[in-house]
Amino acid sequence: MAKKKVVRMNLEMSPQVRKKLEKISDQTDESLSQVVRRSVAVYEMLLAETNAGGEIVIKANDGTEKHVVLI
């Protein structure tokens, strides 16, 4: 089985962002690295959709909708 190539990175972030990553990590029982990988995958998907002219809409249980704008 071929070994996956891994690239190490050092990231600078505010303590608030670090706490948010740790909170997500605790909620999902995933490593901080996995949380970052998943975040990048979601952001990539959202960018692709908006670049193609699509919208991002979050629909709550009560039927209300929030339109998300990427900045």
pLDDT tens-digit profile of 8-34?
Answer: 999 999 999 999 999 999 999 999 999
Task: Tell me which H or E stretch contains 68.
Answer: strand 65-68
Task: Tell me which H or E stretch contains 59.
Answer: strand 56-59
pLDDT(49) > 90:
yes
Q: Tell me what pLDDT residue 22 has.
A: 98
CA angle (42 as vertex; 36, 48 as ends), nearest 5: 135
Q: Tell me what pLDDT residue 36 has.
A: 97
Residues whose CB falls within 8 Å of the CB of residue 26, separated by 6 or more in sequence, listed in order: none
**Residue 64 and residue 32: Cα distance in Å, rounded?**
32
